[in-house]
Amino acid sequence: MYSILGLAAAVVGLAASVLGAVGGAFILITGRRHLLHTVRSWAWITVGTGVAMTVVMLRALSVRDYTVDYVQQVGSPNTPTLFNIAALWSSLEGSLLLWILVLGGFTGAMLVKFRDRRDDELFGWALVVMLGVSVFFYALVAGPANPFTAVTVPADFTPRGPNPLLQNHVLVAFHPPMLYLGYVGFTVPFAFATAALITGRLGEGWLLETRRWTVVAYGFLTGGIVLGAWWSYEVLGWGGYWAWDPVENASLLPWLTGTAYLHSVMVQERRGMLRVWNLALVCATFCLTVLGTFITRSGVIESVHAFSDGPIGAWFLVLFGIVTFGSIGLIAWRGDQLRSPGSIDSPWSREASFLANNLLFGAMAFVVLLGTVFPLLAELWDGSRLTIGSPYFDSMAKPLGLLMLFLMAAAPILPWRKASGEVLSERLFWPAVIGVVSMALALVFGGRGVAPVLGFGLGGFAGGSAARQVVLATRRHGWRGFVGRTNGGMIVHLGVVLLAVGLVAAESYKVDRTVRLEVGETASVNGHEFTYLGGGGDQNGRRVRIWAEIRIDGQDVYQPATTLYREQGVVVPTPSVRPGFSEDLFLVTDAVQTPGDPVRLRIVIRPMVTWIWAGGGLMFLGTLLAVFPGRRRRRGTEPTSVAIPDAAPVG
Amino acid sequence: MTGRLVRWVAVLAASIGLLVVAAVDTGAETEGERVQRLHDSYACPVCDGQSVADSNASVAVAIRNFISDEVAAGASDDQIRDDILRSWPGSLLNPPGEGFAALVWVLPVLVTVVGATGVAFAVGRRVEGSATSADEQLVAAARDSGGSGA
Amino acid sequence: MDDQLHEAPDVTDLDGPRSGSARRIALGVGAVLAGLVLVLGLAVATRGDDDGTASGLLGQRVPAIAGDDVLSGAPFDIDQTRGQWVVVNFFGTWCPGCLVEHPELVSFEQWAEPRGVEMVSVVVNDPPERAAEFFRNEGGTWNVVMDQRTSIDFGVAQLPETFLISPDGTVVAHWTGSITEANLRAELPG
């Protein structure tokens, strides 16, 4: 029954998307605006079918209806409720349902937000683009990746449950939905950008419409990435949080171009410049989310996190081709109308610093993309096998990251148009002092090496600069000094500084030792004592867990464990972490047959890891504050595309 | 003016001094650090690009033990690299700086330099153009509705 | 800072020299991205042709194996076995596939010993005592050596793996996964 219900919803959703997209395009091209309301109806239907499919699948999962293909893949009577819900996105087909649900959510939000603009061409085309994207996903779910396929239950069927890695930590319930909210959220600005290109209304109108949408998507993407890193740290047991794995890189790419866009868009709002560039960045961000999905789901690039490979990958490549060449074609077509008035007068101006920001983020995105796909290029070129991993990305990211921190210190205090030496000196002095003090502190606490110490210094510099802006804003406007885009942005900057400083410390001063311990034996690593007290074990229908008891520094006992998931026959290590303000002690063990056997204990000591999570949290909070309406600007200093009063508008 | 200059010279001098201390006061690499660095430089051959340091696959454990043994026996980094690459070509996580693979190092630098040149030219150049009237109406509408933040 | 007054532009020239540059750049970027799509497309099409487990040792001279037998303490050196067929097996007591194949190897030894076929097991990631205990309990009297670098030299990726060495010291066959007596006998004369 659930199979039929689910498939029915998928087919109705597909039909509504096709009718809405094709019909809407036809209505708009032929200028029958009075018919535009039909597009809205089709769009509402796709929202409804998205919700319906999710509800049906969740219901099928909760009653364990194994005649539904997807439930047969990931369902099990032993899975606890939380992970049974999370099973919805634990495998390829189900994750598409989540994608559709989120896309429907954004479509619905657009319909509500722009309900007064039902006859507007720009909004009409944006809706058509949203529905076009939804055609693709509904087609996948109704066709090649149908999770609702009715299957017979084999006589010897034993339920397997979701991937063990996706059922042993509560973060699994939050990381993927948050990441999807970010990924899918970028469809909205893309839809408006495309609509602007199609309608030729290329000024700042579409920008103003989508400003908050972009910030929201960006906030979720940031949160999703940081939660993913945290999950990886707490669950995967390899002692790190970021491995420059292709799938991780895939999530970072749209984040990088999104960051570039959020900055350069201010130049366009304020000065009406960089129109082509901003459109290109919005389109690139969306294209990169599709590329990321392709990488995650095709298995084309070897990755620890990749979903099982299947024929779906090729579909995403097709979508990537369509959206990429579609946007390039549109930009080329409208290119001449996009030339914008104005000029950047001085390298010591806010505008110029945003350009520098874009250069750095663009370069970083290029490095990440190149490093990710280069093994494929090399294999095509001369058949050679090449692995490109952390050492490469680290050595590329280091200089770029330091430059970004420097820019983060200087840019927020630069005025528009042109700064004088006096202004620069006055505004930058105290942040610079904070930077010097940070370096001194780093040295006092034992930090060595030019790059890391410089990282602390520039972190302090950037943090001081952002803090200065926040202090000035709150002094002037009270609590409103925390909200609005500019002020929220500074909070995001403070979060970035925490995260960056944490990364510098955790990467540069990592200590990683593996020791073999008999019961009662103590290992001493970096001034900490690790005593192996023995072990224990427990089991239930789902899993067998064996842990080692390790006393750290004669105080608390930690229990790194290995867990055998019976249904999948997979052994998963579960690390135990002693987090701390200044350092994390991370313990993980190999599987031992019986509690009390000698144990091989891997000890990873990383300073300031908690700063990374705190920084990520602060960044998310900052984006929320940025969305909150801030202080109204004085009339006359509003962002506008008609910034030059004396120039007669043409066109 | 001079006061300002003095302050900035002091900041700069302090920074350079601290960085010199940070650069000079580092001890030689210990054997443990060297082993750790080598563990981080090789991909586990069967783990989709994870480093041997991070993987629990048996081959990763074997390579880790091999590296530790060789370091203890006094082998050089190059000898260890040759031994590992003979069996698993392409397991170096840092691509080599020669042949086709050198492109992965050169291209980003090239792109960054070209981009920086482009940005440098963009500063100070005046571009002409204009907005459409429909667009101006939208901006005005957005302005009046108070939708714009600070 | 909030000064919004621009100086008026010198000219309002819509067909200036910059006209069309956006188009040219877009086309350039498009060409690069078309290349990317092509590469990814080829990768999708050819994926799975090569699983990377084929040993590069086939047809090569056998790498060195030398060490003391963990059971008897007698020295073993593969260079002393020229003129004989040698089965080189990599195993660990922690490896399930190794436990599965062990009875097959024991049975194979009954067949091989009178025919002068030499066998050696190389222990991977296991303490010698545990390996010795395993052979005492599960049978098998062939050579068992510990040598950390042997598994590196042979490029052993996933246990169990087995190699066959011809009498002239060339690697002639390679198996990954649990081996059977029949597998081995099929490659050997008589």
N-to-C CA span, chain B:
34
pLDDT in tens, A427-451: 899 999 999 999 999 999 888 889 9
Question: Are C40 and A373 a contacting pair at CB < 8 A?
Answer: yes
pLDDT in tens, B88-111: 887 888 888 888 889 999 999 999
Q: Which residues pair with A68 in a beta bridge?
A: A150
Domain membership of residue C41 as a residue range:
15-47
Pair B52, B108 in one domain: no
Q: Which tokens sit at A570?
A: 């997979």
Pair B82, B141 in one domain: no
- Is there a contact between A361 and A260 (Cβ–Cβ < 8 Å)? yes
Pair C31, C122 in one domain: no
Pair B111, B60 in one domain: no
CA-nearest residue to B65 within chain C is: C148
| C60 inside domain | no
B8 touches chain A (CB under 8 A): yes
Output the domain CATH number for residue C75. 3.40.30.10
Domain membership of residue B120 as a residue range:
99-145
Among A364, A472, A334, A458, smallest CA distance to A408 is for A458
DSSP letters spanning chain C: -----PPPPS---TTSTTTTHHHHHHHHHHHHHHHHHHHHHHHHHHTTS--S-S-TTTTSBPPP-EEEBTTT--EEEGGGGTTS-EEEEEE-TT-HHHHHHHHHHHHHHHHHGGGT-EEEEEE-SS-HHHHHHHHHHH---SEEEE-HHHHHHTT--SS-EEEEE-TTSBEEEEEES---HHHHHHHS--
| B150 inside domain | no
Q: Is the ipTM of this complex over 0.85?
A: no
Question: Are C148 and B126 a contacting pair at CB < 8 A?
Answer: no
List chains adjacent to chain A, taking adjacency as at least 3 C-beta pairs closer than 8 Å.
B, C
Q: CA-CA distances (angstroms) from residue C162 to B57, C76, C90, C101?
A: 18, 18, 6, 11
| C3 inside domain | no
Pair C82, C148 in one domain: yes
Question: Are B83 and C92 a contacting pair at CB < 8 A?
Answer: no
Domain ranges for chain A: 1-158, 163-342, 390-507+613-627, 511-607
| B65 inside domain | yes
Burial degree of A594 (CB within 10 A; 0-12, 13-18, 19+): exposed
Pair C107, C143 in one domain: yes
pLDDT score, position A341: 66
Least confident of A9-13, A105-109, A116-120, A254-258: A116-120
Among A16, A57, A71, smallest CA distance to A39 is for A16
A386 touches chain C (CB under 8 A): no
- Residues 48-67 of chain B whose Cβ lies under 8 A from any Cβ of chain A: 48-51, 53-56, 64
pLDDT in tens, C127-151: 788 888 888 888 888 888 887 778 8
- Residues 102-131 of chain B whose Cβ lies under 8 A from any Cβ of chain A: 103-104, 107-108, 111-112, 115-116, 119, 122-131
- Is there a contact between A568 and A542 (Cβ–Cβ < 8 Å)? no
B-chain residues near A639 (CB < 8 A): 139, 148
Q: Which tokens sit at C81?
A: 């076995």
pLDDT, average across residues C76-98: 83
Q: Which residues pair with C165 in a beta bridge?
A: C86, C171
C-chain residues near A377 (CB < 8 A): 39
CA distance A465 to B149: 22
- How many domains does chain C contain in total? 2
Mean pLDDT across chain C: 76
Q: Which residues pair with C123 in a beta bridge?
A: C91, C146
- C1, C20, C30 member nearest A336 (Cβ): C20
Among A461, A452, A454, smallest CA distance to A494 is for A461
B128 touches chain C (CB under 8 A): yes
B75 touches chain C (CB under 8 A): no
CA distance A563 to A237: 12
User: Backbone phi, then psi, for A598, in 5-degree steps?
Assistant: -55, 145
| B44 inside domain | yes
pLDDT in tens, A156-207: 888 888 877 777 788 888 898 999 999 999 999 999 999 989 988 877 777 8
CA distance A304 to A292: 14
A529 Cβ partners below 8 Å, 6+ apart?
A522, A523, A551, A552, A553, A554
Question: Are B61 and C158 a contacting pair at CB < 8 A?
Answer: no
- How many domains does chain B contain in total? 2
Task: Provide the pLDDT confidence category of residue A632 given band limits of 50, 70 and 90.
Answer: low
Pair B19, B82 in one domain: yes
CA distance A630 to A482: 8
What is the identity of the amino acid at C64?
Answer: A
Question: Are A643 and C4 a contacting pair at CB < 8 A?
Answer: yes
pLDDT score, position A255: 96
| B31 inside domain | yes
Pair B117, B82 in one domain: no
CA distance A70 to A150: 9
- Residue B36 has what DSSP assignment? H
Q: Which tokens sit at B11?
A: 């900041």
Question: Are A650 and C14 a contacting pair at CB < 8 A?
Answer: yes
| B94 inside domain | no
User: Backbone phi, then psi, for A542, in 5-degree steps?
Assistant: -90, -40
pLDDT score, position A211: 84
CA distance C80 to C57: 20
CA atoms in the 13 A half-sphere facing the CB of C94: 18
pLDDT score, position C125: 79
Q: Which residues pair with A343 in a beta bridge?
A: B126
| B138 inside domain | yes
Q: Which residues pair with C87 in a beta bridge?
A: C119, C164
| C52 inside domain | no
pLDDT score, position A148: 92
Pair C90, C42 in one domain: no
Pair C84, C144 in one domain: yes
pLDDT score, position B16: 93
